[in-house]
Amino acid sequence: MGNFPQVSDGIPAGRLFIIGGGEDRCCGAGVLERFVELSGGDQARITLVTTATGSPDEVHAEYEQVFRKLGVENTTELRLHGRADADSDLAESILRGATGVFFSGGDQSRIRALVGSRTNEILSERLAGGLVIAGTSAGATALGRTMILGGRRAEVSAAAVRTAPGLGLLGSVLIDMHFAERGRLARLLAAVALAPDHIGVGIDENTAILVEGTRFEVMGSGVATVVDPERSTVVHPAGDYDPITLFDVRLHLMPAGCQFDLDDRVPAIGPRHTRY
């Protein structure tokens, strides 16, 4: 990718709205209402990227209906089947016209074709200029420099998690989703043990973090779990299926209204506790 304006730890200036999946899509629409508000309300022009899903027609129709209920008349699907689509003039034209971009859930491995593409470059550039970029579930973990592809084992081991390069819109932060609902603490611990320069953030369903610059705020009905390995000691075993030794990991449980400074690695209770 090209070089874009960044703050000191590699996080572009802009707004990322990262949802743990399972967001409320009924009237009121929970965290999605906040995304629409950030994107311009009834003047928003939302681009829905359906690359991750295997049912793009259904996903497009569902989100278009939800956004219309929230007052948005302009929702455009960007269906990127592979690298050629992601490098196309059409993709650039659609992304240039958006006030908000939303990555749907599905299978994050499908998003790997976008990494390093023209689409990726435009998103990085426009994020630096203040564009709102959101992702839910698979679309959430893909926003980071490293994304979690999978892993279901219960122990903290190298075999418990699979990762790959992400879109790099968020610096050294590993995002995991459906966090409490699917019991993914061991997976996130394994991920940060294998990449200790990252902070791990596990986001519950119907819960989001809003990242602005080097800080984020939690909103929604669940919790964001922060795993900070900065002071930890990691000892890797010989085998991928053997448990990793991990000392002195800091763990923060952050419901709505809590904030986290990614530069200083400091959590705080914010000026308000908001439950959208």
Q: Is 137 a catalytic residue?
A: yes
Q: How many residues does the chain have?
A: 276
Q: In whole angstroms, what is the distance from residue 255 CA to residue 273 CA?
A: 8
Catalytic residue among 37, 92, 121, 155: 155
How many CB atoms are closer than 10 A to CB 248? 11
Q: In whole angstroms, what is the distance from residue 148 CA to residue 154 CA?
A: 16
- Greatest alpha-carbon pair distance for the chain in Å reads 56
Instruction: Output the six-digit token pair for 250.
Output: 């800091």
Q: Is 172 a catalytic residue?
A: no
Nearest CA-CA partner of 180 in 150, 163, 203: 203
Q: Is 178 a catalytic residue?
A: yes
Label residues 123-159 b or e (16+ Cβ within 10 Å = b): bbbbbbeebbbbbbbbbbbbbbbbbbbebeeeebbbe
Instruction: Output the six-digit token pair for 17.
Output: 């709205």
Catalytic residue among 104, 137, 198, 205: 137
Beta-strand relationship, 199-203 and 173-177: parallel
Q: Are the beta carbons of 91 and 83 closer than 8 angstroms?
A: no
Q: Number of helices (H) and strands (E), helices first, in the chain?
A: 7, 17
Report the Cα–Cα distance between both ends of the chain, in Å, rounded: 35
Nearest CA-CA partner of 25 in 111, 116, 136, 114: 136
Catalytic residue among 33, 39, 178, 205: 178
Write out the catalytic residue numbers: 137, 155, 178
